[in-house]
């Protein structure tokens, strides 16, 4: 079977869940081959978990400057892997960086580009969310090989242990004049909650939370469910919660098993980032709020009364079990 290249998302020590999802998708099309871009030694640390999730080959694209530039080293590595493997497809996570990598790679190699895929079949036909989440379409590349950016959370990862071969890719020097260099890094406090795009449960707050203090209710429910906290653009713009937690067209796209929206009206910009969630629960005082039409379960009521009761009941059941 042909190789299907998967760009590995990682923090240098651990593989992100979204990569395991991509490896599961890759098996539908061919033999998954993981491309690891990073500083020397990164691929060796990540090889075992990648093989455990089905990577039949691990391409190591390492250099001292790989972590010093945005996007360019990943594009270079994928280009080298494509020329060596002639893959059936290239898969990346549909994150901000992943979409840029996909677009630049497709432009370099005159390949077909499909963004925000939420499903695909063995023939390569892809289901996409387009036009800000207002339409779902089926697409297929008819020129060149497909470069597909898959929305995190769209597929459940699964272990599929194999023996992984190792291959090295010699990254070319990065041209500083044509690339964005990382000049500083600032660690963000992550706490004990899962990453927003990788969480199976997300609880988000909107303008109805009515302030930064109101987000304590959102956090308490998220913690009771073992989930991540999100926020609408309105809440972020109002300064209620940090921008990195924004869910929506200009924020993160999520597809958790459970999405709970507290005080979010449901503007199309927000729906574009969460409407592929498996189960959606909305709590809003306005019975005409657009999000209630999308939700699987809707509660018309005061979120400050509903959310604490739900958190209390979830905690009681957990302790009871």
Binding residues for FAD: 207, 232-233, 246-250, 263-270, 284
d(CA 260, CA 277): 10
DSSP output for 118-172: EEE-TT--EEEEEGGGTEEEEE---SS-EEEEEPTTSS-------PPEEEEE-PP
Cα–Cα distance for residue pair 303/299, rounded to 1 Å:
9
- Cα angle 186, 190, 193; round to 5: 165
Nearest C-alpha neighbor of 198 from the set 49, 35, 21: 21
Distance CA 95, CA 101 (A): 10
Closest CA to 74 of 140, 164, 149, 159: 149
By three-state DSSP, how is residue 201 classified? strand
Residue 217 vs residues 51, 233, 265: alpha-carbon distances, Å = 41, 18, 17
Angle at the Cα of 229 (from 227 to 232), degrees rounded to 5?
140
* CA–CA distance, 94 with 52 (Å, rounded to integer): 23
Cβ neighbours of residue 25 under 8 Å, at least 6 residues apart?
Answer: 91, 120, 150, 155
Binding residues: 207, 232-233, 246-250, 263-270, 284
Scanning the structure block, which residue is given the tokens 């000049």?
Answer: 183
């Amino acid at each position: 079977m042909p190789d299907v290249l998967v760009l590995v998302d990682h923090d240098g020590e651990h593989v992100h869940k979204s990569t395991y999802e991509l490896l599961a998708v890759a098996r539908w099309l061919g033999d998954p081959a993981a491309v690891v871009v990073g500083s020397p030694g990164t691929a060796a640390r990540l090889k075992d978990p990648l093989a455990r999730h089905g990577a039949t080959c691990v391409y190591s694209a390492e250099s001292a400057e790989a972590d010093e530039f945005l996007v360019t080293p990943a594009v270079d590595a994928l280009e080298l892997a494509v020329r060596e493997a002639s893959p059936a497809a290239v898969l990346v996570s549909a994150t901000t960086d992943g979409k840029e990598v996909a677009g630049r790679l497709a432009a370099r190699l005159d390949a077909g580009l499909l963004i925000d895929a939420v499903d695909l079949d063995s023939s390569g036909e892809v289901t996409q969310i387009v036009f800000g989440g207002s339409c779902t379409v089926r697409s297929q590349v008819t020129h060149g090989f497909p470069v597909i950016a898959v929305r995190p959370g769209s597929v459940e990862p699964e272990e599929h242990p194999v023996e992984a071969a190792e291959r090295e890719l010699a990254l070319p020097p990065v041209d500083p004049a044509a690339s964005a260099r990382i000049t500083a890094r600032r660690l963000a406090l992550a706490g004990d909650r899962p990453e927003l795009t990788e969480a199976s449960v997300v609880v988000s707050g909107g303008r109805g939370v009515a302030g930064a203090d109101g987000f304590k209710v959102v956090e308490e429910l998220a913690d009771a469910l073992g989930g991540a906290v999100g926020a609408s653009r309105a809440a972020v713009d109002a300064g209620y919660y940090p921008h990195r937690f924004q869910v929506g067209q200009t924020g993160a796209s999520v597809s958790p098993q459970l999405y709970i929206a507290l005080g979010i009206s449901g503007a199309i910009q927000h729906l574009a980032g969460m409407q592929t969630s498996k189960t959606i629960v909305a709590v809003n005082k306005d019975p005409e709020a657009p999000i209630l039409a999308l939700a699987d379960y809707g509660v018309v009521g005061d979120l400050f009364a509903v959310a604490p009761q739900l958190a209390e009941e979830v905690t009681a059941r957990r302790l009871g079990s």
